[in-house]
Amino acid sequence: MATLAPNLFILQYLKATGSLTPSLQQRARRNLKIGYQRILDYVHNDGSFSAFGYHDQSGSTFLTAFVVKVLQQSKEYVYIDQNVINNAVRWIINNQLENGCFATISHVFHDMGGTLTENSTAALTSYVIISLLESGIELSEKVKTNAKYCIRGHFSPDKYTLAISTYALSLIGWESEAKRCLSKLLQVATQQDNLVWWSSSGAASTNIEMTAYVLMSLVYQNSTENLIYANAAVRWLISQRGGHGGFISTQDTVVALDAITKYALLVHSSTTDLHVTVALGQEENEIIIKSKDRLKTKEQIVKKLPNKVDVTIEGKGCVLIQSNLDYNLESVANSEAFKLAVDVDSVSSSDQCSMAVVSACVSYVGNAIHSNMAILEITLPSGYEPDRASLFRLVEENQSKVKKFEESINRVVLYFTEIDNEPICVPFTIVEHSRIGSRMDANVKLYDYYNPDIQVTMVIYVFSLIQTTAL
């Protein structure tokens, strides 16, 4: 689902700026079609959507709202069955409570900024209203008014809730309250080196989301002062990007791209004529950027470190300069939020190497009641592959928190809806497919899907097959 939204944002931007070529449109439309077909695998009979489709007992308010927005906006480019959207909207509206809040049904997976329960209700309602209004869905005044009072019924919102609710109130049309909330956000912003952002004690991905939602409000309330803040917020967001263009997690990437796209559409200039000089010591390289190739990435590889890079820019237009440093770490410090233990036992005493059972036991001992959606990645010893039947049994077991698995010849990935302090053990079988003289050790990693820095890693040493140790 998450790959559909970025393709949509790119299409919207390219079309609005007159940069959409036939080849780019064809490629993006193909991706939208593929994404749409995949999304249909996650729909429930009642019209709602969830992260694991029929493996979940019910749809998710959060994900259903996300799907409605993306599908409705995708209709401009590819065929989307309107009944799919209508059924999802009907399900959402039917789950609006008397107090105006939308019920938190099924797993959100995303912790809505790490907010407390009361604030997360307001944050979720804001997210739903934003998704519905940005999709262009006609909502009754009753639905909007009730949602408005749910959002503002929380008098002490944390920064994340304030950020997302400010944008929701802007879209609803409560202008005075939206301006008051935005003013409050600007008072608690962090400003440094002509950058501005919003931060909390939570995950870095939460800071990216918060800043993105404030950016949307700044763009929506586009006064001169707000656009100055917006420029500083965009530059901070861009500084947080990874080397491949994404951010930390799926959700913060989607929200940040949406916000940056909105800003880019507002300040877009049709003329680009830039002369960029990149100096590495005595070596100089010139890069010419014209309107016709302004969307192409230009690279300059720095072969020696440490080094100083001087960049000089002349001409008209806007250019983004990003430096990426790739390096390897021998080991990463384990988080104390997760516990992980792995055992490997041979199935046969006569032939200990041909088949074995890998049993990973996981639990969450962090500050919250349970974790977000968690991922367990198990890289198998070289020469082994997973037995698919044993993986299917993990997913199909009653009350199983393993909702999905992915597997390849030497790797298994298990998706958990959540992990709490009760240990969960997930045994599956691996089968030797090749006799290898010198096998490579195997890694096991458990991490929070929305905050990958919360992780714990172990190594399976293959010299004894049944011995494991923590890094």
Average pLDDT, the chain: 87
Indicate if the pLDDT at residue 188 is higher than 90.
Answer: yes
Tell me which amino acid residue 22 is: P
What DSSP line would sit under 187-226, residue for residue?
Answer: HT-EEETTEEE---SS-HHHHHHHHHHHHHHHHHT--HHH
53-100: per-residue pLDDT in tens? 888 888 999 999 999 999 999 999 999 999 999 999 999 999 999 999
Question: What does the domain layout of the chain look like in residue ranges?
Answer: 4-267, 273-316, 338-470
Distance CA 44, CA 59 (A): 7
Above pLDDT 90, what percent of the chain? 53
pTM for the model stands at: 0.84
- Which stretch of DSSP H or E encloses residue 22? helix 22-39
Say whether 338-470 and 4-267 share the same fold: no
Indicate if the pLDDT at residue 200 is higher than 70.
Answer: yes
410-462: per-residue pLDDT in tens? 889 999 988 999 999 999 999 888 877 677 778 899 999 888 888 999 887 65
Q: Which residues pair with 71 in a beta bridge?
A: none
CATH number of 273-316: 2.20.210
Tell me which amino acid residue 463 is: F
Distance CA 378, CA 391 (A): 12
Least confident of 93-102, 111-120, 200-209, 343-352: 111-120
- Exposure string of 237-270, with b = 16+ CB inside 10 Å and e = fewer, is beebbeeeebbbbbbbbbbbbbbbbbbbeeeeee
Q: Please give the CATH architecture assigned to the domain spanning 338-470.
A: Sandwich (2.60)
Banded model confidence at residue 45, pLDDT cuts 50, 70, 90? very high
pLDDT of residue 197: 98
Q: Please give the CATH architecture assigned to the domain spanning 4-267.
A: Alpha/alpha barrel (1.50)
Tell me the mean pLDDT in the region 237-245. 87
